[in-house]
Amino acid sequence: MTAPLLTIESLRFTWPGDAEPIVSGLNLEIAPGQRVFLAGASGSGKSTLLALIGGLVAPSSGTIRFAGQDLAALSRTARDRFRADHLGVIFQQFNLLPWLDGVANARLGCQFSPARRERAGEIEESARELLAAMGLASDCWTRRADALSVGQQQRVAAARALIGQPGLVLADEPTSALDADRRDAFVELLFAQAERAGSAILFVSHDRALADRFDLKLELADINQANAAAGGAL
C-alpha cells in the first residue's frame, strides 16, 4: 500500500463560542487518487471537517497530515499556501465570482499558488481544456458566470478545483442543486478529470444514491463522535 495522502487522527474541533465540539475523535485516511464518499446530514460537521482539512481553521486537538505534512504545525499563512497548492474546492452552489467569465473563474484555482500555476502550464489553455473536458460548450467560456445555468456553474467550479492538478478535491454537496441526470453526468466528468489530474476526491453529500460509484463510503456519524445536534456549522 502506498503512503496515504491524508491522515486524520483523533480530530477535535469546537467553534469559538460553542460549548460542545462539532468534531470529536475523528479518524480518516485517504490514499492518493482515492475517491471517498462521506455521507452526512446538515449540521453533522461536514463543512467544519472540510474547513479543517482546508486549513481554514486549526483543530482544537488531533492531527491532520497531508502528504506527510502536519497541518497543525504550519502557520496560518503556510496553511493558506498549502490549501492553494494542494486542494481544489467545489461548493454546493454559488461557486463562482459572478463578474468573471467561465475561463477566468476556472483560472482562479491557480491564482494564489505559483506551484499550481507551474503544474497547469499554459493557464488559459489549461482552463479552456478543463472546461471543454467538463462538457461545457465553448460559447459559455467567455460568458459572465452569473449568466450560466447552475449546472454549467458547477462544471466551471469543477474545472477551477482541478486546474493545476491538486492532490485532493474537496466537494461539498456539489450535486445537490442538480437534477438526477445532470448529477450523474457531473460526477462522471468529475471522476474522469480527477483521474487525469491524479487527484483524490473527498465527496461530501447526503445523497447516498451516488455512493456506489466511490472507492470508499463513509457515514460521518460513524466516524465523528461529537453530538451532531450541538453543531453550529451549516
Partner 1 sequence: MTLVTLARGSLGNRRAAVALTVATIAISIALLVLVEQMRSQVREGFYRSVSGTDLIVGAPTSSVQLLLFSVFGLGNPTSNVGWARYREIADRPVVDWSIPLSLGDSHQGFRVIGTTAAMFEHYRYAGGRSLEFRHGGPFDGLFDVVVGARAADRLGYAIGDRVVLAHGGGNVSLQHHDELPFVVSGVLAPTGTPVDQSLYIRLDAHHAIHVGWEQGTPRPGATLSPEQAQARAGHGGHDHARPEHPDRGEHGDDARGAAESEARVATPARDDNEQRRAQASLQPEQISSFLLGLKTRAAALGLRYEINQRREAPLLAILPGIALQELWRITGLAEQILRVVAGLVVLAGLLGMLTALLTTLNERRREMAILRACGARPWQISALLLLEAAFIMLSGIAAGLLLAAAAQFVLAPWLLARFGIAVSLTWPEAWQWLVLSGIALAGVLVALVPAAMVYRRTLSDGMQVRQ
Alpha carbon distance 124, 219 (integer Å)? 39
Q: Among residues 143 and 213, whose Cβ is nearest to partner 1? A: 143
Alpha carbon distance 197, 215 (integer Å)? 17
Q: Among residues 16 and 68, whose Cβ is nearest to partner 1? A: 16
Tell which positions 28-67 bind partner 1, by CB under 8 A. Answer: 47-48, 50-51, 54, 56-57
186: phi then psi, degrees, rounded to nearest 5: -60, -45
C-alpha cell recorded at residue 73: 504545525
147 binds partner 1 (CB under 8 A): no
Map residues 184-223 to x or -, x wherever contact with partner 1 holds by CB under 8 A: ----------------------------------------
- 210, 187 in Cβ contact below 8 A? yes
Beta-carbon-side half-sphere exposure of residue 110 (alpha carbons within 13 Å): 23
In 102-144, alpha helices (H): 102-111, 114-120, 123-133, 138-141
Q: Among residues 118 and 179, whose Cβ is nearest to partner 1? A: 118
- Three-state DSSP class for 122? coil
| Continuous segment of H or E residues that includes residue 28 | strand 23-30
- From the list 27, 94, 149, 188, which residue makes contact with partner 1 (rule: CB under 8 A)? 94
Map residues 112-131 to x or -, x wherever contact with partner 1 holds by CB under 8 A: xx------------------
100 binds partner 1 (CB under 8 A): yes
107 binds partner 1 (CB under 8 A): yes
Residues interacting with partner 1, by CB under 8 A? 16, 47-48, 50-51, 54, 56-57, 76-77, 80-81, 83-85, 87, 89, 91, 94-100, 104, 107-109, 111-113, 160, 170, 172, 232-234
